[in-house]
Chain A
Amino acid sequence: MPQTAIVILFLTSLALVTSLEPWFQSWQGNRSQTTDPLAVLLGDARRAFANHFFIKADAYFHSGYYPSIFDNRAAFQTPHMAADAGAVEEKNTGDEDDFLGPPKDWLEAFGRKFRPAAHTHLDQGGAHTHADGRSHHHHPAKEIELGESQDVREILPWLRASAALDPQKIETYTTTAYWLRQRMGKVAEAESFLRDGLNANPDSHEILFELGRIADENRKEPARARNLWELALVKWQKFEGQKPKPDTFSLLQIASHLALLAERESRWEECLHYLGIWKLASPQPGEIEKRIAEVRQKLTTATNPKTGTQKPKP
């Protein structure tokens, strides 16, 4: 009798396998379809970890002086390292120096002596800028030149981990690339990292824009920069322009860089075109209008009857 039961159970499981296996292989939630071990191991949870590591990098940017989920995070809604890099639009409000507020009890007051208690940024020297980091208000920060400190490299492991866990998190690439090239002089590494990001996100106008900045500011190749920014603008118009709340911050960055590049090269009509787009995206259109007037003036001078035609520089 037990032998018969075993045979029946074996045959039943065999029959189930033949019907379940093809379904499992075609099921979208099947993790074995991906070759990425992290995706197999963590599934969608890896995005939560990626976000955690991105925030962790910002906590490192502040040398550990960072609000927990139980503190007032109004001044840290946008990670400062990403805002400083121009990767995202800053939406922070409140006092970033004193998010802890006054201590609620003697234990909290005592405990603050054992934790970082002053707002600093790694790219400005971090904890070294404070004679006594835990009494910020009594010992003002020693001013150092921006870019003097390369300690900002300490945020990179967490950004790399964040990108590995969520390759679709675009600000990770743009933030990392900024700090790599701007503060550490690692232009090749920054470009390579952005290329990885572009492979994972071929329609990202943010990554194209950052690649353009490398071409313009580091490689000194304005023609390549213009091509990249123009492609970024096309991608923005194609994907962001259709949204009810488009990312105007990116549009502002792309248009302003294109306009400034055209101005540098005395391409006045092109400059006017991009200034028009810049004006649409800008929170201060009046300022851009003044600039448009200046460029129109230059255009008139360039096309006066004596010379006859506009002379753009190559």
Chain B
Amino acid sequence: MKTTLALAHLVILEMVRRKDVYVLFVLTTLLTLVAAAANIFDDTRVVRYLKEVSLTLIWISGFVLAVTSAARQIPAERESRTLFTLLAKPVSRWQFIAGKFLGCWLACGLALVVFYAFFGAVAASRERGLDVLGWFQAISMHWFMLTVPVALALAGSLLWAAPSSNSTLTLLACFGIWLLGRHLHKVAVGLPEPGATLLTLVYFTIPHLELFDIRDLIIHRWPPVPWLFWLGAMLYAAAYAGMILTGAWLLFRRRPLN
């Protein structure tokens, strides 16, 4: 566990040094502030569109951050040849994968705290108060959702040599699932065979990232998700991430390092 945590610590330090998070945060802030500057019939209490703009940018930033950071971990270690040094020490391949995953995921969590603090400030500035429970559920579900893109990008870096192609494909898959995932079964029902069965199979196989998107509940101030379902979603994400990481480890175990 110590080895895994040490590896994760290194990944977090690297993420702090890189400019990706800052660029994404500045972009999110700027675009939200530009939206806030719009004059809506001299009414300063209009807030929901602002919450939507801000949350959507946070979601996009979350995906980009998770995928790009995870996709470059293994190729970068291989390129700088530190991978050989690391694995020559008593670091198992599973510990290496787990450490990289944990580092990326924790770094994403830290970034999300900053992003959601900004979102909270925006919402509280125009609403009477902040819906703390909703805010907590939004950030926790978003963070757990990111386990899947991080795991997918790590696994992808073992399949595709270039981080750019891995990032592009993983982001496409993530955005596709996020936007269309929940509709696949409805579409499948209207398709002729074998398309219907294939699409149904895809629907039940893919990790449903859109489940974690509770933006509509937060924006429109619906009551929080029942806690049992919130816990169920967390376990769902953890199970998927565990499955993908195990697959990545199996791939990595059989793969020659050079």
Contacts and interface: CB of A to CB of B under 8 A. Distances in A.
Are A and B interaction partners?
yes
Interface of A: 60, 63-64, 68, 70-71, 104-105, 107-108, 110-111, 113-116, 126-128, 130-134, 153-154, 156-158, 160, 180, 184, 186, 189, 193
B84 interface: no
B233 to A, nearest CB: 7
A134 B41 contact: no
Given A60-B48, A107-B208, A154-B47, A114 B225 contact: yes
A156 B45 CA distance: 11
20 contacts: A63-B216, A64-B216, A71-B186, A108-B185, A110-B229, A110-B232, A111-B208, A111-B211, A113-B225, A113-B226, A114-B213, A114-B225, A115-B217, A128-B221, A133-B222, A153-B43, A157-B38, A157-B40, A157-B46, A186-B41
B182 A127 contact: no
Contact of A116 (B203, B204, B220): B220
Given A110-B229, A114-B217, A154 B208 contact: no
Contact of A63 (B41, B187, B220): B220
A153 B49 CA distance: 11
Contacts of B212: 114
Nearest to A192: B41
B220 A126 contact: yes
Nearest to B41: A189
A181 to B, nearest CB: 11
Contacts of B226: 113, 134
B211 A110 contact: yes
A198 B235 CA distance: 56
A126 B219 CA distance: 12
Given A154-B46, A180-B41, 11 more contacts: A63-B222, A64-B216, A64-B220, A104-B186, A107-B208, A110-B211, A111-B211, A132-B223, A133-B222, A154-B47, A156-B43
A105 B185 contact: yes
Secondary structure of the B contact surface, majority rule: helix
Secondary structure dominating the interface of A: helix
Contacts of A133: 222-223
Contacts of A111: 182, 208, 210-211
B100 to A, nearest CB: 29
Contacts of B211: 107, 110-111, 114
A210 to B, nearest CB: 16
A138 to B, nearest CB: 13
Contacts of B141: 114
Contacts of B222: 63-64, 116, 127, 130, 133-134
Nearest to B182: A111
Contacts of A108: 182, 185
A115 B216 contact: yes
B21 interface: no
Contact of A104 (B185, B214, B221): B185
B46 A114 contact: no
Interface in B89-135: none
A113 B229 contact: yes
Given A154-B49, A184-B43, A127 B220 contact: yes
Given A116-B217, A116-B220, A153 B210 contact: no
Given A64-B216, A114-B212, A153-B46, A160 B40 contact: yes
Interface string B46-86: 11110000000000000000000000000000000000000
Contacts of B203: 107
A154 B186 contact: no
A118 to B, nearest CB: 9
B128 to A, nearest CB: 12
A14 to B, nearest CB: 41
A199 B118 CA distance: 40
B19 interface: no
| Centre residue among A111, A133, A180 by max chain B CB count within 10 A | A111
A126 to B, nearest CB: 7
Closest 10 CB pairs of A and B: A64-B216, A63-B220, A157-B49, A70-B183, A113-B229, A154-B48, A133-B222, A127-B222, A189-B41, A64-B220
B210 A156 contact: no
A68 B183 CA distance: 9
A107 B223 contact: no
A68 B187 CA distance: 12
Contacts of B38: 157, 160
A153 B45 contact: yes
